């Protein structure tokens, strides 16, 4: 029997651990990991028109305009591998994006199954951002202190080189947190109203957060 498609959202402030958990949870749920930030970085690396449009916003920690972001993510969700659903990370980030996603899913006769709201205090997030390193090859996030690779500077999974994102600095992170509280946190109430929100304590070690997430998705 084919299962109904499943759409799950990882919601949370910058550096809450969405990407770290998405790698594990997408395997667990057998759903593709769709991260808007990764899609923008891929376009930036390949110097596409979309990447060039997004760059100025990303550099200062602002949101890329809704029309550009919505078109990019809905295009990704229309690919065959998302027929069974997707694990969304970093999207939606505004009420307009959430409404556009609901509309696109409703047109397919489906809806969001769950929104996992990862909660971490702002002061913890700053240290997570500044110590973050990413693999150039697979995008896997590491942290120099909290989640170091086995060999410094090298990805455990594929030997790729680790790098620091241009926007992972103390100045930009303050702006990203402000943007989160002003533009993204209203989504908490939005999804609470539809009964799909589950709060997850993200201020515990990585494995404990994974266990909490796995417990939360059992009934989705």
Q: Does 58 bind ligand AMP (CB under 6 A)?
A: yes
195: left (phi over 0), alpha (psi -120 to 50) or beta: left
Please list every residue from 120 through 149 that binds ligand ADP, using CB under 6 A: 128, 131-132, 141-143, 146-147
DSSP state of 180: I
The DSSP output letter for 182 is: I
- Tokens 């809806």: give the residue: 111
Which region, judged by CB under 6 A, interacts with ligand AMP, from 4-12, 63-71, 110-118, 152-160?
A: 63-71
Q: Is 141 in the site for ligand AMP (CB under 6 A)?
A: no
Q: Which is nearer to ligand AMP, 143 or 176 (CB)?
A: 176
Are 22 and 87 within 8 A, CB to CB?
yes
Question: Can residue 40 be called a binding residue for ligand AMP (CB under 6 A)?
Answer: yes
Strand (E) or helix (H) holding 174: helix 170-179
Per-position x/- string for 125-164, each x denoting binding to Zn ion as judged by CB under 5 A, each - no binding: ----------x-xx-x--------------x-xx-x----
For ligand AMP, the closer CB: 8 or 64: 64
Minimum separation from the CB atom of position 204 to ligand AMP (A)? 21
Q: Which does 63 bind (CB under 5 to 8 A by kind): ligand ADP, Zn ion, ligand AMP, none?
A: ligand AMP
From the DSSP assignment, how many helices (H) and strands (E) are in the chain?
Answer: 9, 8
Which of residues 13, 85, 90, 160 is near ligand AMP by CB under 6 A?
Answer: 90
> How buried is 171 (Cβ within 10 angstroms: 0-12 exposed, 13-18 middle, 19+ buried)?
exposed
Examine the residue annotation and report whether 93 is marked as an active-site residue of this protein: yes
Q: What is the residue whose two structure tokens read 């417990």?
A: 215
């Amino acid at each position: 029997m084919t299962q109904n498609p499943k759409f799950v959202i990882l919601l949370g402030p910058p550096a809450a651990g969405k990407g770290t958990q998405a790698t594990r949870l997408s395997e667990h749920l057998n759903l593709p990991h769709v991260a808007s930030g990764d899609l923008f970085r891929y376009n930036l690396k390949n110097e596409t028109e979309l990447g060039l449009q997004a760059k100025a916003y990303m550099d200062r920690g602002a949101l890329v305009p809704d029309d550009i972001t919505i078109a990019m993510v809905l295009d990704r969700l229309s690919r065959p591998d998302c027929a069974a659903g997707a694990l969304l990370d970093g999207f939606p980030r505004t009420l307009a994006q959430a409404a556009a996603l609901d509309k696109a899913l409703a047109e397919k006769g489906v809806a969001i199954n769950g929104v996992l709201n990862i909660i971490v205090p702002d002061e913890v997030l700053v240290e997570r951002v500044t110590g973050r390193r990413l693999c150039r090859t697979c995008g896997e996030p590491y942290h120099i202190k909290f989640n170091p690779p086995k060999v410094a500077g090298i990805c455990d999974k594929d030997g790729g080189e680790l790098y620091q994102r241009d926007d992972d600095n103390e100045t930009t992170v303050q702006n990203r947190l402000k943007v989160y509280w002003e533009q993204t946190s209203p989504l908490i109430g939005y999804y609470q109203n539809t009964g799909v929100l589950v709060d997850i304590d993200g201020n515990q070690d990585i494995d404990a957060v994974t266990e909490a997430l796995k417990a939360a998705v059992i009934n989705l």
